[in-house]
Amino acid sequence: VRCVQETGVHGGLSLFKNLHMEVEKLSAFVEVPQDCDFTIHNIPFGVFQAPGTSQPKCCTAIGEYVVDLSVLEMHGLFDGALFQGLRSNGVTVFNKPTLNEFMSLEKKYWQETRQTLQKLLRSDSPLKDNQNVIDQAFHKMLAVNLLLPVNIRAVSYTHLRAHETPEHLVCRLLLEKKK
């Protein structure tokens, strides 16, 4: 999305004649049904398990497919500066059973990931001709199991009263512990 501004000059002042949004017409090399939520403009993240495997993998979705992000990472397709820095330090983000490590990164990593995925999934991407990577990374969504994408630590909320804020709870628990 980019803002386009047309201006005019009146008495030395710039005036906005017309300000409108132009949505870049991106299309994916994968067929995306008209009513599908998973387009090249909406890059979701999740975790899936392919049939016959025991290892959950991080993924995104496009059309009726999930895309194994660990395969793209393994082939060095996350080629932005931030991911190159991680890779040079031996860090992998998507070869994990949850999105926790990815979520712990700064927002700039998320942005680079989305930009890279849009670049890779575009209709003019060289990825569309790499059948080896496509066969490894793309799975029909109906053929996989979608899993809980994050590991949530066990937390007990039994001490939280309806009228207490979390800050009050901490104070009360600390005071009770002293007794």
Q: What does each of the 179 residues of the chain score in pLDDT, given as a tens digit? A: 333 444 444 444 444 444 444 445 678 999 999 899 999 999 999 999 998 899 999 999 999 999 999 999 999 999 999 999 999 999 999 999 999 999 999 999 999 999 999 999 999 999 999 999 999 999 999 999 999 999 887 655 555 555 556 676 676 677 766 55
Rounded Cα distance between 64 and 149, Å, is 19
pTM check: above 0.75:
no
Element (H or E) spanning 45, and its range? strand 45-49
Q: Which amino acid is at 138?
A: F
Q: With H, G, I as helix, E, B as strand and everything else as coil, classify residue 83.
A: helix
- With residues binned 3-state (H G I as helix, E B as strand, rest as coil), the percentages for the chain, rounded to 5, are 35, 25, 40
